[in-house]
Amino acid sequence: METLKEGTFIRRFRARDGAEVTLRAPMWSDLDDMLEFINSLVEEGAEILATEKKTREEEADWLAQHLSAVEKDRKIAIAADVDGRFIGQVEVRPQGGYSHHVGVLGLAIRDGYRGIGTELMKEAEVQSRRLGLEMLTLDVFATNSRARRLYEKLGYRAVGRVPKAILKDGDYKDSVIMTKDL
């Protein structure tokens, strides 16, 4: 399996609602969709760490670094689109030093498409093995039961909890640390 280059096609599948979903490497042309996507998650109050909307300039800077890291195999990023529109992404950041065999996974999917998480996670694991990673780890809001069920279904297990790691809307929430051996 080769390095993911901008826009590299990975595969297609049908979502439960019948929509055809394409998995591919992210592209520079995703910029506006990605900006709208992250800002919609912030507006929704989704259980993600981002708390403020991004400007186009901020998103462009982030995307430039993101694409560069993907093309150098310093990060895995898999975009999902329906009819050419970006609807979500999974990414894995390999750690360094003595933890070079571990990747940190992050997943975000647009509301209305969250049933595709299983396919994104499976592909992230395939790409992680390609990079020689042996373990994936992630943090999830303790209150995000849907995401936790997905991760557990795929073999991730809770290995720790950080009390009050998240302060959202004046309420403290725990973060759950989950891992999976690949």
pLDDT at residue 2 greater than cutoff 80: no
CATH number of the domain at 113, please. Answer: 3.40.630.30
In a domain? residue 87 = yes
pLDDT at residue 11 greater than cutoff 90: yes
In a domain? residue 75 = yes
Specify the residue for token string 């506006």: 32
Output the pLDDT for position 161. 97
- Using one digit for the tens of pLDDT, what is the confidence trace for 76-135? 999 999 999 999 999 999 999 999 999 999 999 998 888 899 999 999 999 999 999 999
List the structure tokens of 105.
């996974």
In a domain? residue 3 = no
CA angle 105, 177, 1 (to 5 degrees): 25
Mean pLDDT estimate for the chain: 94
pLDDT at residue 153 greater than cutoff 70: yes
- What 3 state SS string does the chain have? CCCCCCCCEEEEEECCCCCEEEEECCCHHHHHHHHHHHHHHHHHCCCCCCCCCCCHHHHHHHHHHHHHHHHCCCCEEEEEEECCEEEEEEEEEECCHHHCCEEEEEEEECCCCHHHHHHHHHHHHHHHHHCCCCEEEEEEECCCHHHHHHHHHCCCEEEEEEEEEEEECCEEEEEEEEEEEC
Mean pLDDT along residues 68-80: 94
In a domain? residue 182 = no
In a domain? residue 151 = no
One-letter amino acid of 122: K
Specify the residue for token string 């390095």: 3
Output the pLDDT for position 83. 92
- Using one digit for the tens of pLDDT, what is the confidence trace for 155-164? 999 999 999 9
Alpha carbon distance 137, 155 (integer Å): 12
Output the pLDDT for position 1. 64
Tell me how far CA of residue 152 lies from CA of 87, 123, 146, 155, in angstroms: 23, 16, 10, 5
In a domain? residue 19 = yes
In a domain? residue 160 = no
**Domain hosting residue 74, numbered range:** 9-131
In a domain? residue 24 = yes
- Predicted confidence band at 37 (pLDDT cuts at 50, 70, 90)? very high
Mean pLDDT along residues 60-75: 93
pLDDT at residue 170 greater than cutoff 70: yes
Residues with Cβ within 8 Å of 99's Cβ and at least 6 positions away in sequence, in order, are none
Output the pLDDT for position 49. 86
Q: How many domains in the chain?
A: 1
